[in-house]
């Protein structure tokens, strides 16, 4: 869903807290072999006043949730794959909403990598294959979605065989 944060309530765009949605979503798709998480860009909105570190800690909470979802019922947790979103491009229409976010967005990849190491989950830096749109600096164009899909298909095959 567009506009979703990791763990923060948005006072303007309500019901976009990823944490409150995450567990019901996981449970509705149970059992799971793999959970792929790529959130964090919306935490860069100026109204939240978060650091890249804070955003990474929010995604860490989601990884932890994914890693424990099936433990109570089946004893087997799904594998988690954490994706770092690419840094923001040149902001246009969302420039004021994301004021100061470009510099922070470039720090997400290293923080996400550290969380993946800490949590023992797989990691993929999407900036190695895609870039944010030149139109708004945030979203991905159709060809970027295709490139990311191709890259992740290979990664997923590698992970689950």
Tell me the per-residue pLDDT of 50-78, one tens digit each, with 9 for 90 and over.
999 999 999 999 999 999 876 556 667 88
Looking at the domain assignment, is residue 39 inside a domain?
yes
Looking at the domain assignment, is residue 149 inside a domain?
yes
Per-residue DSSP letter, 13 = S
Looking at the domain assignment, is residue 56 inside a domain?
yes
Q: Quickly count: other Cβ atoms within 10 Å of residue 45's Cβ.
A: 21
Looking at the domain assignment, is residue 66 inside a domain?
yes
Q: How many domains does the chain have?
A: 1
Looking at the domain assignment, is residue 106 inside a domain?
yes
Tell me the torsion sign for CA atoms 74, 76, 81, 82.
Answer: positive
DSSP-derived 3-state class of residue 55: helix
Q: Which domain CATH number covers 109?
A: 3.40.50.1110
Looking at the domain assignment, is residue 40 inside a domain?
yes
Cβ atoms 132, 87 nearer than 8 A: yes
Q: What pTM value is reported for the model?
A: 0.93
Whole-number Å distance between alpha carbons of 83 and 128: 11
Domain range spanning residue 131? 18-160
Whole-number Å distance between alpha carbons of 99 and 45: 7
Tell me the per-residue pLDDT of 115-141, one tens digit each, with 9 for 90 and over.
999 999 999 999 999 999 999 999 999
Looking at the domain assignment, is residue 6 inside a domain?
no
């Amino acid at each position: 869903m567009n506009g979703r944060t990791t763990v923060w309530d948005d006072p303007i765009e309500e019901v976009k807290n990823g944490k409150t949605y995450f567990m019901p979503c996981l449970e509705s798709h149970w059992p799971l072999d793999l959970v792929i998480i790529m959130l964090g860009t919306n935490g860069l909105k100026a109204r939240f006043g978060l650091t890249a570190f804070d955003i990474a800690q929010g995604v860490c909470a989601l990884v932890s949730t994914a890693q424990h979802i099936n433990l109570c019922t089946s004893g087997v947790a799904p594998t988690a794959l954490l994706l770092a979103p690419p840094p923001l491009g040149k902001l246009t229409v969302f420039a004021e909403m994301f004021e100061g976010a470009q510099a922070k967005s470039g720090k997400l990849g290293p923080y996400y990598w550290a969380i993946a190491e800490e949590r023992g989950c797989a990691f993929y830096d999407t900036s190695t294959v895609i870039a944010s749109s030149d139109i708004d600096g945030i979203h991905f164009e159709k060809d970027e979605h295709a490139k990311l899909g191709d890259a992740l298909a290979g990664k997923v095959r590698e992970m689950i065989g």
